[in-house]
Amino acid sequence: MEEETLTMDNTTSSDSDGDDDQTALELQTLATELSTNPANYDAHLQYITALRKEGDIDKLRLAREAMSQLFPLTPAMWQQWANDEISLISSSSRSEDAVSTIEKLYERGVSDYLSVSLWCDYLNFIQKHDSSVREFSPTGISKARDLFERALIACGLHVAEGSKLWEAYRSFEEAILNSMDETDLESREKQVQRVRNIFHRHLSIPHSDMTSTLLTYKAWECEHGNTLDVNSSSTDGISPHVASAYQKALDMLSVRADFEEKIAGSDVSDTERLQSFMAYLKFEQSSGDPARVKSLYERAITEFPISGDLWIDYTNYLNKTLKADKTLRDIYNRSTRNCPWVGELWVRFMLYLERSRGSEKDLSDVFERSLQCTFSTIDEYVDIFLTRVDGLRRRISFAKDLDDGLDFSSIRNTFQRACDYLSPQLKNTSSLLQIHSYWARLESHIGKDIAAARGVWESLLKNSGSMLEAWQGYISMETEMGHINEARSLYKRCYSKRFAGTGSEDVCNSWIRFEREFGTLEDFDHALQKVSPRLQELQLFRLQQESKNVTSSTDHKDDPVKKVKGEKRKSSSEAAPNEESPAKRQKVKAQNKGSAKANKADNSTDPTPHAEDGSLKAKDPMPHGEDGGLKAKDPTPEKFKQYTDQCTAFVSNLNLKATSEDLRGFFSDVGGVGAIRILMDKFTKKSRGLAYVDFCDDTHLEAAVAKNKQMLLGKKLSIARSDPKGKRKGPAGHKASTTERRGEDGKVELKGRNTFAVPRALGWSKPPSSSSSAAGDEKPKSNEELRKLLLNKK
C-alpha cells in the first residue's frame, strides 16, 4: 500500500513538474514576443493569464502596468486586478497604503470606460476597507458622499443599470440614519430628509424599474409616519412636484424603451447594435439634454471602444457643446489610446490643447505620440504635420504672452521632419507642393530669410521638377516680393521643360504675359525669341500625335484582318475559349483534303469545320443581306475583340485587391479614362498586379503617366505608357526609329521608318465638278463600242 501511495505521489509530482515547465516555456515565449512587438494586444492578455496561474504577483503587476500604458483595460480587467490586490489584504492587518493603492486602481478603471458594476465594486470597497467611512466619521461620510455623487454623474442616467447606484447611495444614507442616537431628533430629521431627497431624485429619472422604486418609496414613507397605499402604483398621496416629475420620467422611459431594447439585444450583430446606438444618440441629441447624450455616448464607447467613427462623432459633439472644457482632455486622451490609427483624432486633440491654452510640452508630447502610430493614408500624416506647424505659427505670432520660448527654428525643424518623412511617398503630388509652399512663405514672412525660402523651392524642384505647379509657385513668390529678375531667370530655366498635358505651352504663354506686365520691350522681344520656336515645336508635336491617332484608326478600319494580326494581346474576358492550336488545324486540313477540293470548286475558301468530337459539321451557308446579295461577314467577331493600346497606360505593382473602380477613382483627377483591364492569372483567377488603362487622348495619358510612383491601397504604383510597337525590329535587326533634325530655316524635319505625314493645312476643300461626277457615273462600254472607238482614233 505504501509503495502504491509513493508511486502515486511520484506521478503527481512528475505531472506538476511537467506543467510548471510548460508554463515557464509559455511565459518565456510570450515575454520574448512582447519585447519585440509590445503592441500585440492578445500577447499581453495571454501573458497576464499565465502569470495569474503561476501566482507571481510582482511580475503580474508589472505586466498589467505595461499593458495599461499602451491600451485601456476593460472594466472586467480592472475588476480582476483590484480583486487580486484586495485578496492580499489580510483581515488582521489592513494596510492604509494597500487601501490607497487599490483606490488608485479603481480611479484609473472608472476613468477608462463607463461601468456601473465597477463603480459598485469601488463603492463597496471604500465602505468595507476605509476605516473612516466604515465608522461613519464626518471625514469618511464626506468622502463617501463625494464618491457617490461622482458615480451618479457618470452612470446615474444609465436607463438599464443606473438604479443600482441610486439604491447603494440610499442604503448608505439609511445606514448613517440607523447609526444615529435616537434622542438626537434634529439630526435624525435632517438625515431622513436626505434619504427622501435621494428617492425624489431617483424617481425623476427614467430607469428600467420605476414602478418598483415608487413602491419602495411609499413603503419607506409609511415607515416614517406617512400614510400611503403601498400596494398601488399610483401617485396618490405623494407631493405634487414629485408626482409630476415621476410622470414625466415615465413618459421619457416609454419613448426610449424601444431604443433600449434594440441596443440590449444579444441576437443581433455588432453592426446592427452600433447602428441602433447611433439612432438612439441622434434621438437624444434632438431632445437637447447634453448630460443624457454624454452618458449614452459613454455606453456606446464601452461596447465599441475601437470604433473610430464613434469617437470622432463623440468628440465632435463635445466640441460643439463643451468647447474648451477640461473634461475634454481626458476624452481626447482616451480616444487616441483606443484608436491610435485614426489621424483625425490626433489632429482634434492638438487643436483642443491649443484652444485650452495648453503648454508647449503637452502639445509636443501629443505630436510625438501621434508620429509613433501607423495611419491608413499618407494624407493623415500630412494633416498632423500641418496642424503642428499651424499651432507653432499661431503661438509665435499671436500668443507671445505664453512665453514658451519658441522661435522660428521650431517651425523649420518641423517642416524638415515632414519633408524627410513624407517626400519619398509624396513625390510629384499636390500635398508635397502644399508643404513646401507653406514652408517657403513662412520662411520669407516670419523667418525673414529669403535665401532659406528659395532653398525650400529649390529642394522641391530637385525632387519634383516635372511639376508645373512647383515652378509656378516659385515664380509667384519671387514676383510678389518684387524680385523680377529672379522670376525671369526661373522662366528661362523651365520654359523648355516638358510638363504634363498642356503645361509646356502654358509656361511659355505665362512668360510672355509676365514680360508684358513687368519687363521692358527688350525683355519682351527676348522672351518671344525664346518661346516662339518652342511653341512651334510643341504645336508640331501635337499635330503629329493627332495624325498618328487618325492614321492608326483609319488603317484598322480599312484592313480589319491586319488589325487582328497586329494585336499584341486580347482581352482576357473575351478570348476564344476553344481556339485550336496550329498543329490541330493542320491535322484537320489533312483529314479533310477532299472536302477542301470540293469546296474550292464551289469558290469556297474556308475548310469544312469540325466539331469537338472530330465529326464533320454542316457548313454554315454564306449569310445573305435583305436584298438577296451576299452579306460580308464581320472579320473581327466579338469574342476576338482586341485592343490596340494606342493611348494606354500600363500599371504595375498594383495591390492584388484593387478593382477597376479603385483605378478609375485613382485617375479621376486626370479624366478621360476609358476601358480598364486588370490582368488575371489563368489558373488562380486572381489579379497579377498588372493593369492596362485606356485614355481618350494623349493629353490625359501624359497626365496619368505623371502620377507615377503615387500610392494606391498602400502600394506605390509604377505607371508607364504602353507601347506595343516599341519592340518591333526593322529588317536589319534594329529598332525602327524616327529621327529629327532642324533645317536651315529652323523647322523640324522628321526622317526614319516610322515617319508619318503632318496633316494638310486646314481649309475648305473644293467641291467636285459636275463633269467628274458624271464621269464617275458613266456606264461601261461594250466590246463593239470599244472597237469602233479605236478605229475612229486611227
Interval 748-776 mean pLDDT = 40
Residue 444 backbone phi and psi in degrees, to 5:
-80, -35
∠ CA 165-171-172, rounded to 5° = 90
The region of weakest confidence among 3-17, 67-81, 263-277, 620-634 is 620-634
Q: pLDDT tier at 436 (50, 70, 90 boundaries)? A: very high
pLDDT (0 to 100) of residue 402: 63
Which contacts of 80-85 are long-range, i.e. CB under 8 A and separated by 24 or more positions? 81/105, 81/109, 82/106, 82/109, 82/121, 82/125, 84/52, 84/57, 84/60
pLDDT (0 to 100) of residue 201: 94
pLDDT (0 to 100) of residue 455: 95
pLDDT tens-place string over residues 143-195: 999 999 999 999 999 999 999 999 999 999 999 999 988 888 899 999 999 99
pLDDT (0 to 100) of residue 392: 93
pLDDT (0 to 100) of residue 78: 94
pLDDT (0 to 100) of residue 767: 42
- The residues spanned by each domain of the chain are 19-262, 646-721, 731-758
- More confident site: 3 or 457: 457
pLDDT (0 to 100) of residue 18: 56
Interval 35-57 mean pLDDT = 88
pLDDT (0 to 100) of residue 688: 86
pLDDT (0 to 100) of residue 601: 40
Q: Which three cell numbers stand for residue 97?
A: 497604503
The region of weakest confidence among 67-76, 495-504, 556-565 is 556-565
Q: pLDDT tier at 603 (50, 70, 90 boundaries)? A: very low
∠ CA 698-703-704, rounded to 5° = 95
With a pLDDT cut of 70, the percent of the chain lying above it is 75
Interval 235-256 mean pLDDT = 90
Query: What is the C-alpha separation between 127 and 179, in angstroms, rounded?
Result: 14
Look up the CATH number of domain 646-721.
3.30.70.330
Number of other CB atoms surrounding residue 678 within 10 Å: 20
Identical fold for domains 19-262 and 646-721, yes or no, is: no
Number of other CB atoms surrounding residue 275 within 10 Å: 14
Q: What is the mean pLDDT of the chain?
A: 79
pLDDT (0 to 100) of residue 643: 55
pLDDT (0 to 100) of residue 110: 93
Interval 783-794 mean pLDDT = 60
- pLDDT value at 760 more than 70: no
CA-atom Rg of the chain in angstroms: 42
- pLDDT value at 477 more than 70: yes
Q: pLDDT tier at 557 (50, 70, 90 boundaries)? A: low
pLDDT (0 to 100) of residue 57: 87
pTM over 0.75: no
Instruction: Look up residue 521 and give its DSSP letter.
Output: H
The region of weakest confidence among 230-234, 317-321, 429-433, 558-562 is 558-562
- pLDDT value at 45 more than 50: yes
pLDDT tens-place string over residues 651-674: 998 988 899 888 998 988 888 898
Q: What is the dihedral of CA 659, 660, 661, 662, to 10 degrees?
A: 60
- More confident site: 427 or 157: 157
Most confident of 370-374, 683-687, 757-761: 370-374
Query: What is the C-alpha separation between 247 and 224, in angstroms, rounded?
Result: 24
The DSSP secondary structure of 590-616, one letter per residue, reads HHTHHHHHHHHHTT--SPPPB-TTSPB
- pLDDT value at 777 more than 50: no
Side-chain-side CA neighbours of 257 within 13 Å: the count stands at 10
Query: What is the C-alpha separation between 43 and 330, in angstroms, rounded?
Result: 27
**What class, spelled out in words, does domain 19-262 have in CATH?**
mainly alpha
pLDDT tens-place string over residues 501-516: 899 999 999 999 999 9
Interval 468-476 mean pLDDT = 95
Nearest residue to 677 via CA among 576, 568, 572, 563: 572
